[in-house]
Amino acid sequence: MVIKGGVVHSESGVIGGDSPDFDTWLSQQLQFNEPHLDDDGFCERVMVDLPPVPAKRSERRATRYQYAAVIAASAIVCWQFPLQEALAAMAEQSISLYSLVGLGILSSVAAMTGGIVAARR
């Protein structure tokens, strides 16, 4: 096993992650003790300069703003929807109340399923 240019080579070529030779080489490298390289406090300075982790309160505030935006957008859509004309058209075609309730439940389940799928991604 030979290392050339940062790549591990064996007699048969480059060693891959599934090769038993690679596992042997990796276990040997992980057990190899190297002296500590002093960085004159560089890591500590970088850690101090990193921004703080956002608090849970700011995350909740962002979530509330998102909910408020969804509610506002829904209110605008409902305000622009011609509800009276749609009800009059449905009454003229004598659509049953049960089919409307079923359609509403089906669309609600579809919307919730889409929200769950989107939240898991």
Structure confidence at residue 71 (pLDDT): 86
Structure confidence at residue 121 (pLDDT): 67
The single-letter DSSP state of residue 101 is H
Structure confidence at residue 77 (pLDDT): 81
Structure confidence at residue 12 (pLDDT): 54
Q: Which of 30, 28, 21 is nearest to 13 (CA)?
A: 21
- Global pTM value: 0.30
Whether the predicted pLDDT of 94 surpasses 60: yes
